[in-house]
Amino acid sequence: MVNYKDLGLVNSREMFKKAMEGKYAIPAFNFNNMEQMQAIVAACVETKSPVILQVSSGARKYANQTILRYMAQGAVEYAKELGCNIPICLHLDHGDTYELCVSCIEMGFSSVMIDGSALPYDENVALTKKVVDYAHQYDVTVEGELGVLAGIEDDVVAAANVYTSPDLVEDFVKKTGVDSLAISIGTSHGANKFKPEQCTRNADGILVPPPLRFDILEEIERRIPGFPIVLHGSSSVPQDKVAIINKYGGALKDAVGIPEEQLRRAATSAVCKINIDSDGRLAMTAAVREVFATKPAEFDPRKYLGPAREALKELYKHKTVHVLGSANRVE
């Protein structure tokens, strides 16, 4: 058993308390490799932002859970080396079983998500409570989820959003003892969050998605005042990145995300954690494609992964400063 505290990591409790009081949100960025980890840490050190490093099941399969945990440990040291001891939380994203959550906690994760949102309500409650009871023995924080996001949620493909029912949140939080709650108010995973027919088009022909359901968020806040809320699927799908990808041979069609001003608004509410993965993928892919197209003789991976890492860092800095409001929150 490795305790995360011995690795210099922190759980999400204090982070969320400060984010709630300060009316901002903590960035939760997914990572699968060294360049992503370095970009996240460098961006958050430069902007003095706390951060949650997220490991998905896809990341575990791709990079190996042990390696990712050591990388998170390395991230703590790297931040110090870069000159700012920012709080870093290592979080399991979309955990789907009790056993997986236990395995991550035993390995040094400081926070886990148990995503029982596709289960019948009572089963979600029972599974989430079981994880909470285990995790809290080690002061590991737990995120649960109510409501299903459209698009690809884990292995479950939901055709449409099943918005979180405000009628259930108080009961869920009380019965499970979770530390934060992911909700569904119109965000979704991936780079194609809405079908073109769900959107309108602006004067430049760019798709404008339907607004998030702030009415549901406000009702949830009324039912569980001061309780930390999490938004998944919160990439904005920057159209300049999509354009670079398509210019250099990509084929992203009708890619559309959540407008940044809506996330900015959400960050000032009880939303304390905002998950962003796809935007980083777009930034890296745009940078790599540009190098491949403009420097075809280049074959040193550092010559395309380096620019990708730099583009990623700029994107993350933009998020902390201009979207989440988490910049300058660390002394």
Ligand X SMILES: O=C[C@H](O)COP(=O)(O)O
Sequence-distant contacts of 98-103: CB under 8 A, at least 24 apart: 98/127, 98/130, 98/131, 98/134, 100/57, 101/131, 101/134, 101/135, 101/142, 102/134, 103/65
CB of 59 to ligand X, least distance (A): 5
Rounded Cα gap, residues 254 and 257, in angstroms: 10
CB of 201 to Zn ion, least distance (A): 27
Should residue 278 be labelled a site residue for ligand 13P when binding is judged by CB under 6 A?
Answer: yes
> 319 or 329: whose CB is closer to ligand X?
319
CA distances from 324 to 49, 198, 243, 269, 328 (A): 10, 26, 24, 11, 11
Tell me the three state secondary structure of residue 214: helix
- Give the DSSP letter string of 140-164: -EEEEEESB-BEEETTEEESS-BPP
Should residue 184 be labelled a site residue for ligand 13P when binding is judged by CB under 6 A?
Answer: no
CB of 262 to ligand 13P, least distance (A): 13
279 as an active site residue: the answer is no
CB of 189 to ligand X, least distance (A): 5
* Extended beta strands in the chain, E state: 26-30, 51-55, 88-95, 111-114, 141-146, 151-153, 156-158, 180-183, 200-201, 207-208, 229-231, 271-276
Which one of Zn ion, ligand 13P, ligand X, none interacts with residue 35, CB within 5 to 8 A by kind?
none
* Among positions 96, 145, 179, 290, the unique one binding Zn ion when judged by CB under 5 A: 145
The site string for ligand 13P over 228-257 (x = CB under 6 A, - otherwise) reads: ----xxxx----------------------
With contact defined as beta carbons under 8 Å apart, do 69 and 76 qualify? no
CB of 94 to Zn ion, least distance (A): 6
Paired residues of 23 in beta bridges: none
* Among positions 54, 65, 117, 262, the unique one binding Zn ion when judged by CB under 5 A: 117
Q: Is 314 annotated as a binding residue?
A: no
Q: Is 322 annotated as a binding residue?
A: no
Q: Is 136 annotated as a binding residue?
A: no
With contact defined as beta carbons under 8 Å apart, do 119 and 188 qualify? no
Should residue 259 be labelled a site residue for ligand 13P when binding is judged by CB under 6 A?
Answer: no
Active site residues: 93
Which residue positions form the known binding site? 94, 115, 145, 189, 232
Residues that bind Zn ion (CB under 5 A): 115, 117, 145, 153, 232
Which residue positions form the known binding site for Zn(2+)? 94, 115, 145, 189, 232
Residues that bind ligand 13P (CB under 6 A): 30, 93-94, 189-190, 232-235, 275-279
